[in-house]
Amino acid sequence: MKTDRRKMVSMESQQFIRTIEWEMMDKKKFVPLSMLSSFSIRCFLYPLTVIKTRLQVQRHDQMYTGLFDAWTKIYRHEGIAGLYRGFWVSSFQIVSGVFYISTYEGMRHVLSRCEVDSRVKALVAGGCASLVGQTIIVPFDVLSQHLMVLGIVSGNTKKEMLLNPLGISLKPGRSRLEVTIDIVRQVYIQDGFKGFYRGYVASLFTYVPNSAMWWGFYHFYQDKLHSVFPAWVSHLFIQCVSGTLGGFTTTLLTNPLDIVRARLQVQRIDSIQQTFSILWAEERLRIFTKGLSARLVQSACFSFAIILGYESIKRMSINEEYKKHIRW
């Protein structure tokens, strides 16, 4: 009896498609559903991005002492609008998201022909996808981060100017469009067109390895969990847990790089080396933990939600001939 059961499990695992590949999906379903999922996740989790950015650009703990302190103070002084400051500019990331995921899946498809290991495929494809995505999104990232730090209230003008170097204020009656146009004008006046790509190299240094490692760890943890959990455990659950663990691991490894990127883009520091020097002088070993709590929470929530949406949509978009070989 036990032998028969093992044979059935073995046959099931042979037919079971663990990774749904690009050529297995109906792109007309996948692309719009992917955009909708990405936008919904960003709507729900955007306040964590605002908090993370404000924690990273402050010096020591001059404004906020941590995640919950920042949440409380922003909500108290600025209301719910403060937690969603810069959202409508940041939402353009759903466009780069389409290019990101198309590049990722396309590179996996190309590498599959060379019979490359799945974790190596994920690592290389994740890095290439981030390179394409960052090239599109950095200008919007620059604008949204300037918007995020507007409205900071500390009672200390010098501190507020340090975090808001463009000197743009939120005056009553001014629309978000007017404020955004002011930021665009000031960035262009001070730095020209290259100002919209300030921190581009730092973004690549941050997000390309971050993306590569995240996808690599995602497949690594997925393989490990499949060998630990019994066959009846939900495959989608294993994927969501793997994504979350991958997000945690990658965040711990790349946190200093993300702080450098944020400082370069918001405080207009001249170079990566100078930014590192300033950070080290100000924070010492705290550069490894600065804003880390917010990044870990953000990463865990984003990773879980993105994998839940991404893998569910892949299952919904799979071609009819493969449906019997997938497992939820």
In a domain, 121, yes or no: yes
pLDDT at 238: 92
- This prediction has a pTM of 0.69
In a domain, 323, yes or no: no
Any domain includes 11: no
In a domain, 192, yes or no: yes
Domain of 282: which CATH number? 1.50.40.10
268 within some domain: yes
HEC assignment per residue over the chain = CHHHHHHHHHHHHHHCCCCCCHHHECHHHHHHHHHHHHHHHHHHHHHHHHHHHHHHHCCCCCCCCCHHHHHHHHHHHHHHHHHCCCHHHHCCHHHHHHHHHHHHHHHHHHHHCCCCCHHHHHHHHHHHHHHHHHHHHHHHHHHHHHHHCCCCCCCCHHHHHHHCCCCCCCCCCCCHHHHHHHHHHHHHHHHHHHHHHCCHHHHHHHHHHHHHHHHHHHHHHHHHHHHHCCCCCCHHHHHHHHHHHHHHHHHHHHHHHHHHHHHHHHHCCCCHHHHHHHHHHHHHHHHHCCCHHHHHHHHHHHHHHHHHHHHHHHHHHECHHHHHHCCC
325 inside domain: no
Q: What is the pLDDT of residue 61?
A: 67
Per-residue pLDDT of the chain (328 residues; tens, 9 = 90+): 444 434 433 444 446 777 888 888 888 888 888 888 888 888 888 888 888 778 777 766 667 777 788 888 888 888 888 888 878 777 777 777 788 888 888 888 888 777 777 778 888 888 888 888 888 888 887 777 777 776 554 444 444 444 455 555 555 556 677 777 777 787 787 777 777 787 787 778 778 888 888 888 998 999 889 888 888 888 999 999 999 999 888 888 888 777 777 777 666 666 777 777 777 777 777 777 776 777 788 788 888 988 998 899 998 888 888 888 888 8
Count up the domains in the chain and report the number. 1
- Residue 45: give the domain boundaries: 22-318
Residue 12 covered by a domain: no
pLDDT at residue 2, as a whole number: 40
pLDDT of residue 245: 93
Q: What is the pLDDT of residue 266?
A: 66
Does some domain include residue 49? Answer: yes
